[in-house]
Structure 1
Amino acid sequence: MIFVHDKGRMANNILQYGHVYAWGREHGRKTMSMRFAYKYPWFHICHTRYHNFLTYLFAKYAAKWKLIPTVRFDEEGADYSNEEQVMLDRKMVFVGGWYANWHDLFLKYKEEILDLFAFDNKVEQHVEGIIGTQQGINLGVHIRRGDYARFYGGRFFYSDEQYVEVIKRFAAMHANEKVNVFICGNDPKLQRDFYRDNLKACHVEFPDGNPAEDLCLLSHCDYLIGAPSTFSLVAAMYRDTPLYWIEDAEAELNDSSFKHFDYLFRHIY
Structure 2
Amino acid sequence: MVVLTKLYGQTSNNFLQFIHLDSFCRENNIPFHSPYFRKYFDQYPALQSYGVNYSKVLMKFFIRTKLYKEFSFVDDTQISAYKNAILTRKRLFCEGWYFSSKETVEKNRSLYQQLFTPNIDQQDFHNKYLKKENNETIIGVHIRRGDYKEFQGGEYYFEDDVYIDKIKQLLNNLNTPHKVIIFTNDDALNKANYTQHFNVLFSENPVHVDHFLMSRCDYLIGPVSSFSLWASYIGETPLFHIRTANDVVTLDKFKICDGNWF
Give the TM-score normalised by the residue count of structure 2: 0.88
CA distance, structure 1, for counterparts of residue 235 and residue 71 of structure 2:
33
Q: 1:253 to 1:13 in 2, by over 3 A?
A: same
Partner of 2:32: 31
Structure 2 counterpart of 1:245, which letter? H
Which residue of the other structure, out of 227, 240, 243, is the alignment partner of 2:239? 243
Q: Which runs of 5+ in 1 are unaligned?
A: none
Q: 1:85 to 1:257 in 2, by over 3 A?
A: closer
Structure 2 counterpart of 1:73, which letter? F
Post-superposition shift, 1:61?
4.2
> What is the correspondence of 1:116-131 to structure 2 with a 5 Å cutoff?
116-120=115-119, 122=120, 124-131=122-129
Secondary structure of the equivalent of 2:55? helix
Partner of 1:66: 66
The answer to whether the 8 A contact 2:8-2:14 is kept is yes
Structure 1 counterpart of 2:107, which letter? K
The answer to whether the 8 A contact 1:222-1:241 is kept is yes
The answer to whether the 8 A contact 1:3-1:32 is kept is yes
1:203 aligns with 2:199: yes
Q: 1:27 to 1:208 in 2, by over 3 A?
A: same
Secondary structure of the equivalent of 2:203? coil
Partner of 1:98: 97
Secondary structure of the equivalent of 1:38? helix
Percent of aligned pairs with the same amino acid: 28
CA distance, structure 2, for counterparts of residue 29 and residue 131 of structure 1:
41
Partner of 2:114: 115
Secondary structure of the equivalent of 2:157? coil
Q: 1:167 to 1:161 in 2, by over 3 A?
A: same
The answer to whether the 8 A contact 1:127-1:216 is kept is no
Aligned residues: 259
Partner of 1:2: 2
Q: 1:39 to 1:117 in 2, by over 3 A?
A: closer
Partner of 1:162: 162
Q: Which runs of 5+ in 2 are unaligned?
A: none
Structure 1 counterpart of 2:126, which letter? E
Secondary structure of the equivalent of 2:210? helix
Secondary structure of the equivalent of 1:216? helix
CA distance, structure 2, for counterparts of residue 206 and residue 13 of structure 1:
25
Give the TM-score normalised by the residue count of structure 1: 0.86
